[in-house]
Structure 1
């Protein structure tokens, strides 16, 4: 039987942006052909590429293509977060405001598109080591390592403004989307101090709840003295104009 001709490895790659499932199938198919030809070295190379693609896909959210909760948990409990010193690490929990109303009014297909676009907007402008992960439902987590508290607040508020100013009406007339953010910053200055990512996540969740209670479309964070909001929540006199 004549050998099946197989293109070189670098020629087999589909163009950028090809779906991961297509790449996975391609590597598996090429590996099978190479194995029948006895080219075990190149077959192994393609099988390893298929494995790496499958693993990477398991760490991505299928709807938004951002990282998923599994990746977030692995990162927070991995060596990357252990014994970090100054300037610290920030974790922001982000929730879409009144998202149920978006689904009820415009339908779930529009809701899915909103989630995808919010994920893209949240990832814009993040520092190189930072990432966005879908935390669950309409909630996302931003993890920003090696950042001081002031810069973390600026990054979170810039994301809030970016979402609020996005031209949502081009998707559906009358559509508007805002987010609320709870931002917890922590410095692990002592070399022997144990990092507690769950505690930091709980702090971020508590602050997110405060941002919701303060009127939504806000960033809640804790400075040296007390919890703060951006924009600043109006008191009763200000809201009535008296």
Structure 2
């Protein structure tokens, strides 16, 4: 076999990297550019190209930034700037003891029909900001779909997960929505599924979401603008309902 031509190898890495970048394959393009940069720095190239190492360093940095930006965009909801369902599914699978709260805007279709979709979009954006306030550092909010969001609080005690959801509900209900449009009011219903914390039991993300959805349905059925959670086999509400404190398990 003949000797490898460093100049030709450099050109090949560069050509492959450009083609992969054009296809949006940032990971492999980045790897080829790194190989080109290492080759250029190795001293095997003709001295007629003294600026190649710097050129490739800048190209690698540019591609790294573009790749990072593309990754952020792939995990973020474009309207509300919070995380999206893809991020939620991935993180729930990674966490060991998460509690989840499923949040739904009450009568959101009525808001869109009465005030228009532009106001509806503003409501969604504002609600996300209110939901995210006072989340613990490791907690996050993700858009589940439409007007539904999920609050995730890793390693939170059941009572803490409920308290976080209750404060979020109150912030939305107490916000001066009429400043955005006279006559506008917004509330949310929330279903909380705390992690059981049973020794040796690994959580199932889908089981948590199904339980949170059942609790959300209970909150809606009980009159909306409530947080519902299960305690000792019974459904309880925050704020406490005067006429009906608990309900049997569905």
**Residue matched to 1:227:** 235
Question: Normalised by the size of structure 1, how large is the TM-score?
Answer: 0.77
Which of 226, 232, 239 is the aligned partner of 1:218?
226
Distance, in Å, in 1 between the alignment partners of 2:226 and 2:145 is 20
- Which of 126, 151, 162 aligns to 1:153? It is 162
Counterpart check, 1:59 vs 2:75: yes
* 1:94 maps onto 2:110 in alignment: no
Partner of residue 62, structure 2: 46
Contact in 1 for aligned 2:195/2:203 (Cα 8 Å): no
2:137 to 117, 125, 128: 128
1:117 aligns with 2:126: yes
- Once the 2 structures are TM-superposed, how far is the Cα of residue 190 of structure 1 from its aligned partner? 2.7
Size of the alignment, in residue pairs?
Answer: 196
Cα distance in 2 between the residues matched to 1:162 and 1:124: 9
**Partner-residue secondary structure (3-state), 2:77:** coil
TM-score (norm 2): 0.74
> 1:142: Cα distance to partner?
0.3
Q: CA RMSD in A?
A: 2.0
Q: Distance in 1 between matches of 2:180 and 2:93?
A: 39
Structure 1 residue 144 corresponds to structure 2 residue 153: yes
Conserved 8 A contact 1:102-1:111: yes
Residue 87 of structure 2 is matched in structure 1 by: 71
Q: 1:208 maps to which residue? A: 216
Bigger mean CA deviation after superposition, 38-47 or 170-179: 38-47
Q: Distance in 1 between matches of 2:172 and 2:88?
A: 22
* Per-residue deviation, residues 138-180 of structure 1 (Å, max 9, x unmatched): 0000000111011111110000000001010011100000000
**8 Å contact kept, 2:80–2:128:** yes
Displacement of 1:189 in angstroms is: 3.9
Query: What residue number does 1:8 align with?
Result: none
Which runs of no fewer than 5 residues in structure 2 stay unpaired? Answer: 1-32, 34-48, 245-250
1:169 matched to 2:194: no
Aligned twin of 1:190: 199
Contact 1:215–1:233 (Cα < 8 Å) also in 2: no
Contact preservation (8 Å) 2:229, 2:236: yes
Gaps in structure 1 of 5+ consecutive residues: 1-30, 237-242
In 2, the alpha carbon distance for the partners of 1:225 and 1:94 equals 21
Instruction: Name which one, 1 or 2, has greater alpha-carbon Rg.
Output: 2
